[in-house]
Amino acid sequence: MRINESIDAAELRRALEQGAGSVEGSEALGPLQVQGGCRKGRLLLTHGAGAGQDSDFLLELRRALADAGVQTLAVEFAYLRRMRREGRRRPPPRVEKLVEELASWRDVLSPHLEAPLWLGGKSMGGRVASMLAARDGAAGLVLCGYPFHPPRRPERRRLEHWPALRCPTLVMQGERDPFGTRDEVDGYDLPDVAEVYWLKDGEHDWRPRRASGLTQIELIHEGARGIAEFMARHA
């Protein structure tokens, strides 16, 4: 797949400079949504298993990251775009297929970018990004609500590839996340390159309980600031 058949370079350049816009990729890749300037860094951002880039969480996170100085390049996997077209839910394919999709986006975008391209995502998307980084390397990783294990199955850890990570890795995790609580993850032997930032009382979408006195919006913006600071520190 040649790059000039996959994305309009002039449209991409314009969107990157303006910090806004949707750029059409090939039929296989779909559109790319650009948001924010690149003062602190640039992040290729993927979504979770059941909701795309139009989820309330990712819409707010991308706004918050833009406010914090991180430019997001948001993409959706093919199965999610098909799910939206057909109007019915479907499970994602094998994670290895998603890794190849994300690798295609990276390969298409990288020749057009001056700033390093970080990889990241929400939940399943973060797992995909981490697997690609473990395989091929990356400038850095941002993992939002990482699925350390399936809910109520803490023995089934999804960390087999983590020893191969060599890039700066930030996990932004709610303390009550059923895919990996603070009590659980604090006991894991994670690589030295990985740092976990805990969002007080947050769950998988960083939503706290009312009794905490916090709101989901506050935690999303706190998370975005933490991401921006981490990316700037490792630029």
**C-alpha distance from residue 28 to each of 53, 226, 227 (Å):** 17, 33, 30
The C-alpha atoms of residue 46 and residue 44 are separated, in whole angstroms, by 7
| pLDDT, tens digit, 9 for 90 and up, residues 57-109 | 999 999 999 999 999 999 999 999 988 888 888 889 999 999 999 999 999 99
- Which is more confidently placed, 53 or 142? 142
Which pLDDT score is estimated for 26?
81
Least confident of 15-19, 199-203, 214-218, 223-227: 15-19
Q: Pairing between strand 41-46 and 20-24?
A: unpaired
pLDDT beyond 50 at 118: yes
Band (pLDDT 50/70/90 cuts) for residue 4 is: very low
Q: Is 145 in contact with 202 (CB distance < 8 Å)?
A: no
Band (pLDDT 50/70/90 cuts) for residue 34 is: very high
Structural domains in the chain plus CATH codes = 3-233 (3.40.50.1820)
pLDDT beyond 80 at 197: yes
**C-alpha distance from residue 69 to each of 14, 103, 190, 196 (Å):** 18, 25, 28, 21
